Structure 1
């Protein structure tokens, strides 16, 4: 079902006393109801706890600061530390292949990486949407079930957020990612649909709520509990994977060990790391991560915000250092990657003159759903000076990167063409141009 229609149905059911919203304050849901034009008396109380309206991610820390709570090494040639997160440097993955090496994969943490004993780990399926009551799986049981391998991107909803200020002059809160809050991997595990069918679904089941085992998230002095975000049952039964391997190896702690969710095409918050429970409910479910967080607020949206964000937008990135220095009179092979959460990328264009002229890049991969496409473009700058390189992608649904992204309060889903600065210098003395 269309997510907007489904979200409206959820709100109407909440109004009728048929939904649960743990950790979400009453004001938030009333604002959402008003924005949807839903009228009528409120017949149910909201679950305990109050959600803060603050952004769920901290401001970016200095790039020189260590990252608290991340386990793996973060060499500066691979990562830029940002608060509790680590952004991948695009020049570090140039020529690394289709999948992002695990050691170079970006890290997005709300709190800190937990260290979980795989032998003691259990996944509990519970809730009113199950016919047979609670069901548990340990890791060995999961691995005995039919396995599936997929390639999928994981991308933070705020990837590209910093460009709202640097390119469009509007400040937004949260981690100031450039374009390195994304990665592609080969994932192996069990389809969530397989586990749900084995647990036994009731016909009345409507929502699935996966929850992580990381520490509770506290903001404004209020604990919102562990990270969790509902999925419509239709999505849960479609292509969602309960993954225990990444790039052919067991998951590492920072990327969700021992087991995580992978939700292809959707924003990263849906792919819950350190998966511990999956609630299947016969009533719509809300959490702070689909009410105050991960909705679009601003002048272009209803007062109560958009429906929960799901699919990612179209983006392109050069595999080139920011403010790179290149030599005039030489042919430089520019490489990069483009992706979309809605459909495979159809074409990529590159401009080396500030967007006046666009020429097609050469695609190095067959475009595929839920993955990016690598591309190359040969450029021979004739004169020294400052240049801005631009790349824009179009997917098979006709979505093309715009000149300007629609502003929203939290800086999600930046999809505009990014101006990548380079400096072209005179040829080195005594060295022939190629």
Structure 2
């Protein structure tokens, strides 16, 4: 299968992204006025190496292993002809929020120093993995499904690959070939990627080339060395504002943001406009039942100039609420503390 490579294919203008090595973090102000979904042109990019450009006409998905009766390969048009499902799902990097361990808690950790922009919500369309596994005769003794990507090998670890338990694979996972009503863009996994609702982004393998169904638990560098014991994401919140935004006093603002959790729906959001001294419930409507994230807003008419710290904390349906600080993770994963968002109020 012939393929070319580029670090990231799509444009990365400064007003939409912060470029972090082979990765691109979305600026949260880029979501202002964008509706529920993250547009493809501003969806964050997390690459281990470079974006491959794959010819769908010769691409094949190999499905094999001791856990299936009839191993076989599937072509792109074959998948597109299968029954499809459409889901609104968040994809979030496991290290989203990592930089706040250092800047907010004075406990720096190594790795890409993501703010909160390593997340996006898209409307994904594709074939339920459950349907595909039934076509190859999934055996009762199957345990894990190992997904492998077609991007270049990462250092000495080989191709990016990570197993999913069969129970999760048969529940709600998609083999996605469309993103927000368009053909999957190269940076986001064309021709086909996994979309694993609620789980860390590494589970949603891009540029999918192989599925091995095993009858025993599998181990790869991506569930032992890099992301051990990391599955679902915790609760987080972000304002749709630039960091250190300058806002003139004297007017009425509607501050907007979004909260999300890999564990379940968001049921409550509170906002502080004074660095945590007082809290007010945020207003929201329309998307409360969505699993992906909950947009919210709050009105504010500031009267004094000077620095202000905005804070937002959310609670999901499991009862998990964002804490004011969170225990340091050695790899910088699962930062869920309330983020202190600085702004400056100025004369108009």
How far apart are the structure 2 equivalents of 1:371 and 1:123? Answer: 28
How far apart are the structure 2 equivalents of 1:370 and 1:259? Answer: 22
In proportion to residue count, which structure has more strand? 2
Q: Answer yes or no: is 1:318 the counterpart of 2:256.
A: no
How far apart are the structure 1 equivalents of 2:200 and 2:247? Answer: 35
How far apart are the structure 2 equivalents of 1:212 and 1:117? Answer: 15
Native 8 Å contact 1:130 1:280 kept in 2: yes
Give the deviation of 1:369 after TM superposition.
4.6
Match of 1:69 in 2: 7
Match of 1:382 in 2: 303
Give the deviation of 1:366 after TM superposition.
2.7
Q: Answer yes or no: is 1:118 the counterpart of 2:39.
A: no
Give the deviation of 1:338 after TM superposition.
0.5
How far apart are the structure 2 equivalents of 1:419 and 1:146? Answer: 45
Native 8 Å contact 2:287 2:295 kept in 1: no
Give the deviation of 1:370 after TM superposition.
2.8
Match of 2:148 in 1: 211
1:2-54 CA-to-partner distances (Å, cap 9, x unmatched) read xxxxxxxxxxxxxxxxxxxxxxxxxxxxxxxxxxxxxxxxxxxxxxxxxxxxx
Q: Answer yes or no: is 1:281 the counterpart of 2:214.
A: yes
How far apart are the structure 2 equivalents of 1:278 and 1:182? Answer: 25
Match of 2:87 in 1: 150
The alignment partner of 1:184 has SS state of: strand
Residue correspondence of structure 1 range 7-46 to structure 2 within 5 A: none
Match of 2:252 in 1: 331
How far apart are the structure 2 equivalents of 1:124 and 1:365? Answer: 40
How far apart are the structure 2 equivalents of 1:330 and 1:195? Answer: 55
The alignment partner of 1:239 has SS state of: coil
364, 384, 388: which is aligned to 2:285?
A: 364
How far apart are the structure 1 equivalents of 2:333 and 2:46? Answer: 15
Match of 1:272 in 2: 205
1:335-387 CA-to-partner distances (Å, cap 9, x unmatched) read 01100111100011110111010001111333235310111111111111100
Count of aligned pairs between the two proteins: 343
How far apart are the structure 2 equivalents of 1:143 and 1:360? Answer: 44
Give the deviation of 1:203 after TM superposition.
1.9
TM-score, with normalisation over the residues of structure 1?
0.78
Native 8 Å contact 1:364 1:376 kept in 2: no
How far apart are the structure 1 equivalents of 2:61 and 2:334? Answer: 31
Residue correspondence of structure 1 range 92-241 to structure 2 within 5 A: 92-132=30-70, 134-218=71-155, 223-241=156-174
Give the deviation of 1:328 after TM superposition.
1.7
1:93-143 CA-to-partner distances (Å, cap 9, x unmatched) read 1010100000110000000000000111100101111112x2111011101
Give the deviation of 1:144 after TM superposition.
1.0
Native 8 Å contact 2:9 2:187 kept in 1: yes
Structure of larger gyration radius: 1
Provide structure 2 residue ranges, at least 5 long, that are not aligned to the other structure.
Answer: 1-5
The alignment partner of 1:140 has SS state of: helix
The alignment partner of 1:272 has SS state of: coil
The alignment partner of 2:30 has SS state of: helix
Native 8 Å contact 1:328 1:424 kept in 2: yes
Native 8 Å contact 1:257 1:274 kept in 2: yes
Give the deviation of 1:330 after TM superposition.
1.6
The list of structure 1 runs, each at least 4 consecutive aligned residues, that deviate by more than 4 angstroms after superposition, is none
333, 342, 348: which is aligned to 1:421?
A: 342
1:144-166 CA-to-partner distances (Å, cap 9, x unmatched) read 11011111000000000000000
TM-score, with normalisation over the residues of structure 2?
0.97
